[in-house]
Chains A and B, each alone.
Chain A
Amino acid sequence: GEDVEQSLFLSVREGDSSVINCTYTDSSSTYLYWYKQEPGAGLQLLTYIFSNMDMKQDQRLTVLLNKKDKHLSLRIADTQTGDSAIYFCAEGGYSSASKIIFGSGTRLSIRP
């Protein structure tokens, strides 16, 4: 069945770039998403990419999509302490009536 996989932890130094990777299995997904969850808060949609795109940039965020390898990545440039959070990769749609598959989340920690 459909699956989305991510590494569980990532630690980077403040000011460096963070790259969070994700692999997915459903090649029919039209949307691939990155969500951010800060401590005690719900999921916030960070960015998304259409499956017919291979790159999307939004300020410090760069999303790269390799459809052949079913690999999605999120790069955060100049990582700040405020970027500490859990980042979820997801594929498919997102609402209670549509199917969305989330990865387990990558916990990003920032070292001073």
Chain B
Amino acid sequence: NAGVTQTPKFQVLKTGQSMTLQCAQDMNHEYMSWYRQDPGMGLRLIHYSVGAGITDQGEVPNGYNVSRSTTEDFPLRLLSAAPSQTSVYFCASSYSGGPSTDTQYFGPGTRLTVL
């Protein structure tokens, strides 16, 4: 049981490049989410999904796209990276209900720098 895995661990992009942050979980969790963490700001919810085929916006969705074609995977796409997207990105999953009602399991994070 690997829990929540994220790749890559580190990434440097140039402004305007696109990339996809991968997230996978093997716990059969319905709920998955993406957060970004910036200094002094804790975790901010970007997008979340309550099940395959269902996604919704969180607190800071602009500049990011997500899809959920399977229960296991929840990739986060940056279509045109901007320096403001320099951050540490965490993927999380939980069995049900979202962050307000269930324990979330976090991935190790992806540190993204946009030059």
- A contacts, CB < 8 Å to B: 28-31, 42-48, 50, 56, 58, 91-98
Decide yes or no: A96 and B101 within 8 Å by CB, A30-B43, A31-B43 being known contacts. Answer: no
| CA of A93 to CA of B104, assembled, Å | 12
Q: How far is the CA of A43 from the CA of B90 in the complex (A)?
A: 19
Selected from A29, A47, A92, A97, the residue in CB contact (under 8 A) with B100 is A47
Minimum CB–CB distance for B49 against chain A, Å: 18
Of the candidates B42, B88, B100, B106, the one whose C-beta lies within 8 Å of that of A30 is B42
B101 in contact with A95 (CB, 8 Å): no
Q: How many residues of B contact A (CB 8 A)?
A: 21
How far in angstroms is the closest Cβ of chain A from B68? 21
10 closest pairs, A vs B, by CB?
Answer: A30-B42, A95-B106, A93-B43, A28-B40, A93-B42, A31-B42, A97-B109, A92-B42, A44-B103, A30-B41
**Contact between chains at B37 and A98 (CB < 8 Å):** yes
Shortest Cβ distance from B93 into chain A, in angstroms? Answer: 12
| Residue B99, interface by CB 8 Å | yes
Q: Interface residues, chain B, CB within 8 Å of chain A?
A: 35, 37, 40-44, 59, 88, 90, 92, 99-104, 106-109
Bound together, the chains give a CA A86 to CA B108 distance in angstroms of 27
Let me know if B90 and A45 touch, CB within 8 A.
Answer: no
User: What are 23 A-B interface contacts by the 8 Å CB criterion?
Assistant: A28-B40, A28-B41, A29-B42, A31-B43, A42-B103, A44-B102, A44-B103, A45-B102, A47-B101, A48-B100, A56-B100, A58-B100, A58-B101, A93-B90, A94-B43, A94-B106, A95-B109, A97-B37, A97-B90, A97-B108, A97-B109, A98-B88, A98-B109
Q: Are A95 and B90 in contact (CB under 8 A)?
A: yes
Residues of B within 8 A of A47 (CB): 100-101
Nearest CB in chain B: distance from A25 CB, A = 13
Contact B103 A43 (CB under 8 A): yes
Q: Please, which residues of chain B bring their CB within 8 A of the CB of A98? A: 37, 42-43, 88, 90, 109
> Would you call A96 and B100 a contact (CB within 8 A)?
no
